[in-house]
């Protein structure tokens, strides 16, 4: 009896990711080809976090760790009325902050990070969020991903924020072999045009949420599948 054909989606799900050498020239060419396609597919690509300024985006991004943007927006809608400045967060009781952000999960660590970052912002930066990678990542609880989100979306500075979607899609597309977010960021800045750094992150996130799922990527409806090594030869990844 003939074996039942296996779909691309099933193959990718079953196949463990394997590391392979990435040719940066080829990776840059892939970016050049998929960028306009993804722009057309997701004309509204951008952060889903609600914010009015850099400070609010910093807080929202810290809260977004292991939490949906929808939940974060629900929480920040209320807490931003209560805590209007870095000083407000810095002087607040840690237990009260925990209570106010509890539904975002990991509320103790997030409360410590927020209070610590806001204390630093108040004491060292006169209550204003700094706009450099070095200064942002010196704040408690702020890593490169959070800093890049703030730099790219609040300050308009080109920045690649590598979340799980960006990591997954970059590997499947053959843009990098790295799973580490920092190493991946450094790989992507070499092959993505600088003016498109921030947008590129958003486009991969949107595509990851809508088509290139972690467990069952919808290759049949993917507009960039012909440029994807994982879709065309799953055994590579």
For the chain, the maximum distance between any two Cα atoms, rounded to a whole number of angstroms, is: 75
Cβ proximity of 166 and 201 under 8 Å: yes
Considering the candidates 131, 163, 179, 183, report the single residue annotated as catalytic.
163
Please write down the long-range contacts of 219-226, taking CB distance under 8 Å and 24 or more positions apart: 219/8, 219/9, 219/12, 220/8, 220/9, 223/37, 223/38, 223/41, 224/33, 224/34, 224/37, 224/38, 224/173
Cβ proximity of 150 and 61 under 8 Å: yes
Considering the candidates 110, 115, 145, 187, report the single residue annotated as catalytic.
145
Cβ proximity of 209 and 202 under 8 Å: no
Q: Is 163 a catalytic residue?
A: yes
Cβ proximity of 23 and 172 under 8 Å: no
Please give the positions annotated as active site: 145, 163
């Amino acid at each position: 009896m003939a074996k039942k054909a296996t779909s691309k989606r099933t193959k990718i799900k079953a196949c463990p990711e394997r590391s392979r050498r990435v040719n940066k020239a080829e990776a840059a060419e892939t970016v050049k080809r998929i960028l306009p396609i993804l722009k057309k597919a997701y004309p509204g690509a951008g952060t889903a976090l609600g914010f009015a300024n850099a400070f609010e985006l910093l807080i929202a991004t810290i809260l977004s760790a292991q939490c949906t943007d929808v939940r974060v927006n629900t929480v920040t809608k209320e807490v931003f009325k209560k805590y209007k400045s870095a000083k407000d967060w810095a002087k607040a009781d840690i237990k009260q902050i925990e209570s106010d952000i509890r539904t975002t999960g990991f509320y103790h660590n997030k409360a410590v990070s927020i209070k610590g970052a806001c204390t630093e912002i108040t004491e060292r930066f006169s209550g204003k969020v700094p706009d450099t990678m070095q200064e942002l990542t010196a704040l408690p609880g702020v890593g490169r991903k959070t800093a890049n989100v703030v730099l790219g979306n609040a300050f308009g500075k080109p920045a690649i924020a590598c979340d799980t979607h960006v990591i997954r899609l970059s590997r499947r597309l053959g843009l990098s072999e790295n799973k580490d977010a920092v190493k991946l960021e450094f790989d992507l800045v070499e092959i993505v045009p600088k003016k498109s750094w921030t947008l590129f992150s958003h486009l991969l996130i949107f595509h990851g949420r809508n088509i290139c799922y972690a467990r069952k990527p919808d290759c049949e409806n993917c507009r960039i599948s012909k440029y994807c090594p994982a879709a065309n030869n799953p055994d590579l990844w």
